[in-house]
Chain A
Amino acid sequence: MKSWGESLGRGASAHFSRVGWLRRALLLLAAAACTAAALLYWRQQLDDRAHRPLHNLGIEPQWTWICRNERCERLPASESTILQSLPTCNMLCASTQLWPQPTGPVSLATAAVPVRADGISLKVTASPSREVTEHLNDAFALMRDDIKSLEKTADGKRRSDIGSPRDILVRVAVNGSADVRLRLDTDESYKLSIRPNGYTLVADITAHSFCGARHGFETLSQLIWLDPYASSLLALEAASVEDAPRFHYRGLLLDTARNYFPVPELLRTIDAMGACKLNTFHWHASDSQSFPLRLNSAPQLAQHGAYGPGAIYTPDDIRAIVRRARLRGIRVLIEIDAPAHVGRAWAWGPAAGLGHLAHCIEVEPWSAFCGEPPCGQLNPRNPHVYDLLERVYTEIIQLTGVDDIFHIGGDEVSERCWTQHFNDTDPMDLWLDFTNRAMLALNRANGGKLPELTLLWSSRLTRSPYLERLDRKHIGIQVWGASRWPESRAVLDAGFRSIISHVDAWYLDCGFGSWRDSSDGHCGPYRSWQQIYEHRPWTEEAPAAATGAEPWRVEGGAACQWTEQLAAGGLDARVWPRAAALAERLWADRAEGAAADVYLRLDTQRARLLARGVRPAPLWPRWCSHNPHACL
């Protein structure tokens, strides 16, 4: 047997570093002495069956990880001459630990150097505008905060024998867009190279936009990790990464109407999205249950629609969310669903002399007039509705700064509700008419031109014969129907620009059963991260020659977190790490499914999210993290 004292001398300084050096030395001596004594004692007394301590050593384990055959293997520290922590082994062993996996060439050093968060500095070497420079500085500060919070998870003193930490100089050059916003045509690609220069690591990031450079920061931060044994940050000594996303719309939808989520929850969600290079926070802000946005243009909506005075997002809150998102390379796409999915927020019309803004508000039995309680649908014949929508749209565009893409909702209209009030007109015509007039309101709200892409949910309106009557030039469709439904495919075959949110793959709310007694209104089983990851509907496009269909125009996709059965507190574990799986699908779209290296990298990404204060659910038992590949 190997001497415990020997391994202790090597590894214990990290292991026991939370105690003072004097205590450490004493423990060391005592431990060595006890080992020897105990061993001798044992050899002599093996037959003794009396009760006595087996051993006087500590109860604490110490593991080391060794890279063998491109895998990290866990061993008791006493069985190895190297003491290496799991994160360090993973970073230096076979696969990259980047998430999402870059799409261009990657080459990474297999040696690490100690660094510290305070030693990281930024130099903007080229920037097309002052605004870009300022945003680079602020985004860099956020990244450094992320690294600092990682550094703070160390619970001991830095080990001195690993050498003194290097500084990192981050040099950023942005050659391209002067606009800091994420646009439909933003080039998000970036190049990152790290190399030692004297005693400094120089990280060069070049990009064509602020967003691209920001992604470069994110990748850089993923090449820095905390070694728990050294209680120090380490960084790869050299690296070179070229990267660009496969899809330019990579979204996460959060519904804040069924249940309210306090602002810090949204900020944290945006931080986690940034960590995974998701770029669209689709904020399903209102629904028939509540309207939490306090808009200056229509404060009555929140007054009549919010759950309470503390369940409101003020314009300042929205600005703070937009600001954080922008620094994370994310657009905030606020959806005010219409004409269905509205409720009490719109009930104040008659009292204000505007007539009925909506019908069927909270009518019973609800099952006759809507898909889930409470009911409500805008009044398509009331011109005040469009005035209000215009004001609301104007304020949303002004608050979010997003004017090239807009979401006007448009799902699940109850024909019966409208028929009750307008029996002279086909409700589908009313719906089409409503959509056209809402688009006109949007046109006015956007300074006399339509956004490049206006999104509608897939619905009966996006099926033949109505689909043909929609403006293909401006309207895009977010397809939530199941991937096997013919109408889901028909939208793509008709050449509409589309965002994929197939309910059978990317609905994060499924699998929790029905929240009502009377219905089976749930959407089947839980979507595991593997299912989310392996869903690639765009590979199913038939050759155009065969069908005569238009080429598909898949802009990207979004995972949807509806919140009938979710509120603050449970959010993180429901969304993460599953949304991260989607992020890599949309960023890298690698042909292989959830292969072994995907488990390993996603597990590392989960640890990163944890260090940033997100509470993701675990992928598996911790033993499987400790023994990479052993659980597959």
Chain B
Amino acid sequence: MEDFILLRALEAVKTQVKMFGRWVVLSLVLLHLVLCNEEKTGDSPNVYEPSWVFKCVVDEGCQRSNSPQPATNASGLVFESLEVCRTVCGRFGGLWPRPVTAALSTQTVQIHPNYLRYDLIDVPVEAREMVVQMTHVASGNLVDECDGNVTELVDTRVVVYITVKTANTDLTWDTDEQYMLDVQTKDGSVAVHIVAETVYGARHGLETFTQLVAPNKPPFSDNYKCSLRLVSGAKIRDRPVYKHRGLVLDTSRNFIPIDDIRRTIDGMAASKMNVFHWHVTDSHSFPFESTRVPQFTRYGAYSPYEIYTAEEVRELINYAKVRGVRVVVEIDAPAHSGNGWQWGKEYGFGDLAVCVNAKEWRRLCIQPPCGQLNPANPEMYRVLRDLYRDIAEALPKPALFHMGGDEVFFGCWNASEEITSYMKEKGYDTTVEGFIKLWAEFHQKALEIWDEEMIAAGTVNPQPVMLWSSELTQAHRISKYLNKERYVIEVWEPISSPLLTQLLRLGFRVVSVPKDIWYLDHGFWGTTKYSNWRRMYSHMLPREPNVLGGEVAMWSEYVDAQALDTRVWPRAAAVAERLWADPAPGAAAAEPRLQRHRLRLAARGLRSDVLSPAWCAQHDSHCL
């Protein structure tokens, strides 16, 4: 069994496609080196190479020093590699997010993935396949620390013993994500013990294990040599503070290719975020394939290449699950719907949506293109049902679905005679309150449809759904229209707004996305202000059981695949630590660890922004 797993792990590492490219690069580099060596024979070695070492200084962190001696441990902790220095320096080393408690040795031991194996004897059979996949991810992440090639081989045996107590692999708000991690080095071999209640706790343990490893290679090295060093002793106890740690990604304003979404999920997993809130549609485009309603993409996608096929969606959901991330699909409705819904007339269904792509958009919506579902048209609900059924079938059970529900523009509905006469029929005035009634009716019907489709898809108990805060969720209205057992409200009001507290008082569960702090698109349009990671990090949420957690939001009006990584990272990671560990608000103390995490994300292929000039990264605490 153990050998089998070892083989599987090796195979996974080897079969990574990127490895091939890296081998080619490596062989070119080697060839180049050989040629250069030939050219240079006889020359004296260049004495003008910069060569730095890094010292771990108490209360300061890692400091660059131009000590000419090779690294020795005579005068304290001196390292050639800044990354290794960070991994052992300070109470929490290079871990991100910070665990609840950690005791780390300052010693490290060199390891190689070839001699790493996983022992899953204490994992329930039902969960084993999933844990095997999780170990593959961990091994891949280790190899990535050396850019795909750990050149320095050692035969130190590393065995990771994983214990998972329950067989259930559902990922919900009730999932127990805690874990214990112990590392012991004895007689030249390393035993790592990860004990968790669930597979997801075990995954977090594996993630933390990989974060105890650093590439032993100087920063800005011009050398292909790379070895891995693991903290030789560690005792970590860890659990999250908030159960909902999310990132909203909008793929409608601009399309984000599936590979970029996968990479984003890699970054989330590295930061122990657990909810990928996929704002997959909006009035701009509808890239999500519905097998039952192919018109959505045919009339809504930007091009044949800007579609998420049902197959890709299924794969993504699984990809995320193996990384401890739950995919929450949002179909925003009844507003923020347009392209993708404009074919009704042609097919004899009437208008499924109104104001779609209307000219003079300022009259009919808040941003172009306009579009709002037509609640007067029963055919709209029928089409919505087909879409919901596709989603209910795709999401892992028990599914969490986001029904959107923000920014309904009454002027649009008011401009449709069909809708105003429907309202008359129902006895709704064409006043704000009348439109609110119509809006609430939409949500009531939509939820009924969702519940029915969930039952059809095999879920027994009604599941809560998410909804954005809006006019409808104002404190004086919400209880009249929305059931607090069924709706979890995602509050995107600015921090000055009382709504979050009011909803908590009314007994609603909430997820907080304060737009003036945690919106990643702010600062690039209008009068919005950019929040850097320090500001995002310093914002704290109320600690109440009904505050499920928070999300950062990447709206994509001004972002596509080109700019995605640098807008999202490392800022999303700052919020990830806030939600996982909720430490004291000061960002300065966290900065050295986030510097390490930024390079970790870079090693995993994310083009994360820098926090500071590289000089500051090489001189902790000297740029305050």
Contact = CB atoms under 8 A, between A and B. Distances in A.
A309 B221 contact: yes
Contacts of B66: 304, 344
A290 B304 contact: no
Given A308-B218, A309-B223, A516-B624, A526 B524 contact: yes
A573 B566 contact: yes
B85 to A, nearest CB: 14
Contact of B558 (A58, A569, A610, A620): A620
A9 interface: no
A49 to B, nearest CB: 6
A54 B293 contact: yes
Contact of B611 (A303, A515, A622): A515
B51 A309 contact: yes
B389 interface: yes
Contacts of B301: 59-61
Given A61-B304, A516-B623, A517-B624, A307 B254 contact: no
B253 interface: yes
Interface in A264-295: 288-290, 294
10 contacts: A52-B292, A53-B291, A61-B297, A62-B298, A308-B219, A309-B221, A311-B220, A569-B602, A573-B566, A621-B253
Interface of A: 1, 15, 42-43, 46, 49, 51-63, 76, 155, 257-260, 288-290, 294, 299-300, 302-312, 343-344, 362, 364, 366, 372-374, 511-518, 525-526, 528, 563-567, 569-570, 572-574, 610, 615-624, 626-627, 630-631
Contact of B254 (A304, A621, A630): A621
Interface residues of B, number: 90
Given A290-B613, A564-B612, 10 more contacts: A54-B383, A57-B294, A61-B298, A61-B301, A260-B614, A303-B49, A311-B220, A515-B611, A617-B559, A620-B558
A54 B292 contact: yes
A21 to B, nearest CB: 18
A46 B348 contact: yes
A364 B623 CA distance: 10
A511 B618 CA distance: 25
Given A51-B389, A569-B607, A622 B530 contact: no
Contacts of B253: 621-623
B68 to A, nearest CB: 11
B624 A518 contact: yes
A630 B359 contact: yes
Contacts of B560: 617-618, 622
A567 B559 contact: no
A594 B610 CA distance: 31
A372 B306 CA distance: 45
Contacts, number: 247
Contacts of B43: none
Interface in B294-334: 294-307, 309
A56 B66 CA distance: 70
A288 B389 CA distance: 61
Contact of B562 (A259, A307, A573): A573
A574 B566 contact: yes
Given A374-B615, A526-B530, A622-B285, A51 B292 contact: yes
Given A57-B294, A309-B223, A618-B560, A290 B348 contact: no
Contacts of B305: 155
B48 interface: yes
Interface stretch (B202-210, B402-410, B531-539): B531-539
B307 A59 contact: yes
Contact of A630 (B306, B357, B532, B587): B357
Contact of A42 (B348, B616, B619): B348
Given A59-B294, A618-B254, A259 B614 contact: yes
Contact of A15 (B297, B304, B566): B304
B610 A565 contact: yes
A230 to B, nearest CB: 15
Contacts of B359: 630
Contact of B221 (A308, A511, A563): A308
